[in-house]
């Protein structure tokens, strides 16, 4: 996962939301303690920082939130864990990091605490797929769900209507529509995705690949260059060459999101976390014409809705008292009342059924039914959740971009990637 455009509006109201939390403030067993939290710079991060002040008021625990870029966060927390330097007590954790962290024992398994506090935390209100996707590996919960995202399709309702097209029910229809809706003479493009070398293009191609039935790891071995995967990358390259805006091969998440909000692109698969911005006139030109729907899959395939987002984990090296305080914070920030407060601060990051059916949030976010459908039938494994995921992503980040810019054919790029990936299995 990667940062999305931040919506800072509303943060000033954090201290005035006025929720009564008498239960949290009746006792303060950790009064005076300070916890350090490393958070990725994403849509929920400013709200997390703003609410830390309220947590301090209620519990006496100061939480210092250090907001970092995706790569910087991964490097800092991994270095902290490997070196046992105890720099952070808590860290937000990308869903694909959990297997590596679980096998290395970097973070505290939360299973026993979750069993003990299940009723208090109303865990049955959280979508089950989010426990799997955002921190579970082989039954060990090494991070607690903090921010769930659904892979969705953003599209332009007005362009579809003008072309007498229906929103795509299959990936084949999506590809065909992308070409039909491309009109370069009028600076209109039917498709946009991340093309930038590295995690950006690797992650976007992986979600496209999953929706056409491709598999990257099978029976414990990499399968990067299967015929289906090569065909998928060939179609993907052609979309970039014939239906994407100029320069898209160099764009990451921010670039492609900006292109959709500016009205340049007609279709964009994306994470739901950025969707609020499409309906914000301060940053979008498509507030009246943007639509959101569940992602299509290939003709004949069972729908496969990708699930991503972030968990929050406790450093295994810190002492027991700090672990207990860190768990107190996790319980608090993911509680029904406080998580709604986080989303009132534009987090666009959801966990609970009660949130997605909350009248106030539905007025603020006019697309929660799409996320509900995605979470209810979501697939936690649409990207391979294996300990070697970071290496696979790095390898594909080069291979996919090489194909997109024409430096290698899709077959050659994936063959080279397969050779590299085999070294890690």
Specify the higher pLDDT residue, 317 or 11: 317
Q: Does residue 159 have a pLDDT over 70?
A: yes
Binning pLDDT at 50, 70 and 90, where does residue 14 land? very low
Comparing 19-33, 132-146, 226-240, 368-382, the range with the smallest average pLDDT is 19-33
> What is the per-residue pLDDT across 226-253, written as a single tens digit (0 to 9) for each?
999 999 999 999 999 999 999 999 999 9
pLDDT score at 25: 52
Within 212-352, where are the H helices? 227-243, 253-261, 320-333, 336-344
pLDDT single digits (tens) 97-155: 999 999 999 999 999 999 999 999 999 999 999 999 999 999 999 999 999 999 999 99
In degrees, to the nearest 5, what angle opens at C-alpha 4 toward C-alphas 68 and 128? 90
Q: Distance between CA 130 and CA 307 in Å, rounded?
A: 8
pLDDT in tens, 38-75: 999 999 999 999 999 999 999 999 999 999 998 899 99
pTM: 0.88
d(C-alpha 52, C-alpha 65), whole Å = 8
Q: Helices (DSSP H) in 181-252: which residue ranges?
A: 199-211, 227-243
Specify the pLDDT at position 156: 98
Residue 23 binned pLDDT confidence (cut-offs 50, 70, 90): low
- Give yes or no for a contact between 143 and 316, defined as CB atoms under 8 angstroms apart: no
- On the question of pLDDT at 27 being above 60, the answer is yes
Q: What is the pLDDT of residue 304?
A: 85
Position 9 scores a pLDDT of 40
CA atoms within 13 A on the CB side of 158: 10
Q: Residue 13: its pLDDT value, please? A: 40
Q: Which residues pair with 38 in a beta bridge?
A: 66, 91
Average model confidence (pLDDT) for the chain?
93
Residues pairing with 291 in the sheet:
155
- Mean pLDDT of the region 340-362: 97
Q: What percent of the chain has pLDDT over 70?
A: 94
- Provide φ and ψ at 314, rounded to 5°: -105, 130
Per the CB < 8 A criterion, the answer to whether 111 and 141 are in contact is: yes
Q: Is the pLDDT of residue 20 over 60?
A: no
Q: Is the pLDDT assigned to residue 355 strictly greater than 80? A: yes
Question: How confident is the model at residue 47, as a pLDDT?
Answer: 97
- pLDDT, residue 331, reads 98
Distance CA 402, CA 165 (A): 33
pLDDT tens readout for residues 164-177: 999 999 999 999 99
Q: What gap in Å lies between CA 244 and CA 181, rounded to an integer?
A: 11
Predicted local distance difference test score (pLDDT) of residue 24: 52
Position 303 scores a pLDDT of 87
| Cα(200)–Cα(54) distance, integer angstroms | 35
């Amino acid at each position: 996962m990667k940062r999305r455009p931040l919506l800072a509006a509303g943060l000033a109201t954090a201290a005035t939301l006025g929720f009564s939390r008498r239960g949290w403030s009746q006792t303060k067993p950790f009064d005076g303690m300070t916890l350090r939290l490393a958070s990725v710079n994403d849509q929920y991060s400013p709200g997390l920082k703003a609410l830390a002040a309220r947590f301090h008021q209620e519990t006496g625990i100061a939480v210092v939130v250090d907001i970092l870029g995706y790569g910087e966060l991964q490097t800092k927390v991994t270095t902290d864990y490997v070196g046992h330097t105890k720099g952070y007590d808590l860290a937000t954790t990308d869903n694909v990091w959990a297997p590596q962290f679980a096998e290395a024992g970097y973070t505290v398994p939360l299973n026993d605490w979750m069993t003990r506090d299940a009723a208090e935390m109303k865990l049955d209100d959280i979508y089950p797929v989010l426990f799997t996707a955002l921190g579970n590996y082989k039954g060990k919960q090494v991070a607690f769900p903090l921010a769930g995202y659904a892979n969705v399709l953003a599209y332009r309702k007005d362009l579809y209507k003008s072309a007498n097209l229906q929103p795509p029910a299959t990936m084949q229809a999506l590809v065909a529509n992308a070409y039909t809706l491309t009109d370069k003479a009028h600076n209109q493009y039917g498709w946009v995705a991340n093309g930038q070398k590295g995690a950006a293009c690797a992650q976007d191609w992986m979600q496209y690949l999953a929706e056409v039935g491709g598999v990257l790891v099978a029976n414990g071995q990499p399968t990067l260059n299967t015929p289906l995967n090569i065909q998928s990358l060939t179609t993907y390259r052609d979309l970039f060459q014939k239906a994407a805006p100029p320069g898209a091969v160099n764009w990451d998440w921010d670039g492609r999101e900006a292109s959709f909000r500016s009205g340049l692109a007609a279709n964009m698969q994306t994470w739901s976390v950025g969707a609020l911005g499409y309906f914000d006139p301060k940053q979008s030109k498509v507030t009246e014409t943007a639509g959101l729907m569940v992602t299509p899959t290939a003709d004949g395939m069972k729908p496969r809705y990708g699930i991503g987002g972030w968990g929050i984990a406790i450093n295994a090296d810190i002492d027991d008292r700090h672990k207990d305080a860190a768990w107190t914070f996790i319980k608090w920030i993911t509680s029904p009342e406080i998580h709604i407060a986080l989303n009132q601060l534009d987090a666009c990051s959801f966990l609970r059924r009660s949130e997605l059916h909350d009248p106030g949030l539905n007025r603020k976010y006019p697309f929660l039914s799409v996320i509900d459908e995605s979470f209810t039938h979501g697939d936690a494994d649409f990207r391979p959740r294996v300990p070697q995921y970071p290496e696979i992503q790095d390898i594909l980040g080069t291979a996919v971009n090489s194909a997109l810019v024409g430096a290698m054919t899709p077959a050659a790029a994936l063959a080279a990637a397969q050779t590299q990936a085999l070294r890690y299995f």
